[in-house]
Amino acid sequence: MKMLINGENYDKDEHKEILNPYNGKIVDTVPIANRNEVKKAVNAANQAKNSLTEMSARKVSEKLYDAFENLKNEKEEFAKIITQETGKPIKQSLGEMERSIDTLKLSAEESKRIYGETVPLDAGLGGKGFFAFTERIPLGVVAAITPFNYPVNLAIHKIAPAIAAKNTTVFKPSMQAPLAGLKMAEIIAQEFPKGVINTITGMGGEIGDALITNENINKISFTGSVATGLFIASRAGMKKITLELGGNDPLIVLDDADIKKAVKGAVNGAYLYSGQVCMGVKRIIVDNLIAEEFTDLLVKETQKLKIGNPMDENMDMGPLIDENAAINVEKTVDNAISDGAELLTGGKRKNTFYQPTVLDNVNMNMDVVSNETFGPIAPIIHVDGVEEAIKTANNTQYGLQAGVFTENMHNGLKCANEIEAGTVWINKQSTFRTDNMPFGGVKSSGVGKEGIKYAVHDMTKPKLIGFNLR
Ligand code: NAD
């Protein structure tokens, strides 16, 4: 794949090979850009601003709908690329594409709903006889920076609302899995004037920094790790930022829970895409009264999972993104076991694969739960009662989403009110999200919200226009 700068495909002599984590084969290559190419991409986006602001909202919406139709027609092809570059099981890649298409459609719809408001100036001192209203106007150029794990949908969550709000963009995908995202950006770009969408590939440290510090970037929309997010925040200066960062989401199972439903939630939440999901279930907090029944069933269901070639539609789990990622998970689990955690199933690595693993008797001092572990691990922490469950859930720097299983409305509401997270689901695990809901964490999990309506709002600014009628 090549980059896209000012409507032209742009290549370089130096390339990075993108490897299939399942078999180590080269899927494709991408150019390694430098700071000069970042400048070119941002200049192109800056110069294309008028071509978009001159377009009616109706036209922008029609073009986003056209892009939606085109992407829909290539859904299967895209799912294959996602699986080849990420190792994600094909049925989950297809799921990502279904959501991506929906995200694009939601953006086409939202582009027609950008409203300002009248402001009652006469409520303020000296305002009698004035009339004023606000318009929401585009910010300018949005830098969209994304991680490896949902390479199409997370990118559409930035590019599509940016355009819906008439901003131009420079998109930088992860160098671990850039291919499907780049192809998606080309499909949307075809519908718009040159320079409206530009893509740039290269090493995060070098070109990422050139992008976020460029004076013509007006907003940085970033999804990725806390460490990179903190660095970006420290370099962003006066630019607007949205940071969608890591998670350490709890799944609380209270003594009155429907155990079967809770186990299903735990299996889905802990092992989805081999646990490499920001809103994955990273800690299972179980009441002692039902811990044995819950754990036995969780082990049984974990052992039923099919692990292997992610292109095979019968597989539930494939490899991790690369061998280093699998080695990190191996070390974290081994450390937890030496610190007293009990291994109930799994616990073995082979190359890029790590088995789905249940660890019992985990406590919050262990790395496996005090940090974000990006692997297929279900760590069980025992508690007595709802108070201790909530206290344990909040004992982390993260606060993305949370899930609580209980048949007791009062306990459910108590958890909803007291858990520090962007979202609390009752009787659903944290991996659930629809693409129109406000999504984004508190504490170290981030700043700002995505979800199309909220992203569009964040990618515009209010301008007040007033009349002196006296
Ligand atoms: P990462 O932080 O390593 O990389 C994310 C992106 O940042 C990549 O495109 C990378 O090239 C770029 N980057 C790296 N250094 C940069 C710099 N100095 N300046 C600008 N850009 C730079 O994250 P990752 O390993 O790809 O993804 C995993 C992380 O992402 C996990 O922590 C996960 O929880 C988080 N995540 C969060 C969400 C969410 O919505 N909250 C969704 C998915 C993933």
CA nearest to 323, candidates 22, 18, 17: 22
Give pLDDT tens digits for 238-262. Answer: 999 999 999 999 999 999 999 999 9
Q: pLDDT at position 20, please?
A: 98
Determine whether the shortest distance from the Cβ of 269 to ligand 1 is under 6 A.
Answer: no
Q: pLDDT at position 437, please?
A: 98
Q: pLDDT at position 470, please?
A: 93
Determine whether the shortest distance from the Cβ of 328 to ligand 1 is under 6 A.
Answer: no
φ/ψ (deg, to 5) at 460: -130, 165
Domain 249-426 has CATH 3.40.309.10: yes
Q: pLDDT at position 27, please?
A: 98
CA of 53 to the centre of ligand 1 (A): 30
Report residue 270's pLDDT band, with 50, 70 and 90 as the boundaries: very high
- Catalytic one among 85, 96, 191, 278? 278
For the four alpha carbons of 231, 233, 235 and 236, in that order, the dihedral sign comes to positive
Q: pLDDT at position 274, please?
A: 98
Determine whether the shortest distance from the Cβ of 158 to ligand 1 is under 6 A.
Answer: no
- Catalytic one among 85, 96, 191, 244? 244
Distance of CA 231 to the CA centre of its chain: 18
- From residue 215, alpha-carbon distances to 80, 99, 239, 299 in Å are 38, 33, 9, 53
Rg (CA), the chain: 23
Q: Is 278 a catalytic residue?
A: yes
Taking a C-beta distance cutoff of 8 angstroms, is the pair 18, 189 a contact? no
Name the CA dihedral angle for 35, 36, 41, 42, rounded to a multiple of 10 degrees. 70
Determine whether the shortest distance from the Cβ of 209 to ligand 1 is under 6 A.
Answer: yes
CA of 425 to the centre of ligand 1 (A): 25
Structure tokens at 343: 């291994």
Residue intervals in the chain for CATH 3.40.605.10: 3-245+443-468
Rounded CA separation 11/386 (Å): 57
Report residue 298's pLDDT band, with 50, 70 and 90 as the boundaries: very high
Q: pLDDT at position 207, please?
A: 95
Q: Is 244 a catalytic residue?
A: yes
Q: pLDDT at position 209, please?
A: 94
Q: Tell me the average pLDDT of the chain.
A: 98
Sole residue written with tokens 């690595």:
349
Report residue 114's pLDDT band, with 50, 70 and 90 as the boundaries: very high
CATH architecture of 3-245+443-468: 3-Layer(aba) Sandwich (3.40)
Mean pLDDT computed over 82-110: 98
Report residue 115's pLDDT band, with 50, 70 and 90 as the boundaries: very high
Determine whether the shortest distance from the Cβ of 223 to ligand 1 is under 6 A.
Answer: yes
Mean pLDDT computed over 181-209: 96
Q: pLDDT at position 97, please?
A: 98
Residue intervals in the chain for CATH 3.40.309.10: 249-426
Q: pLDDT at position 344, please?
A: 98
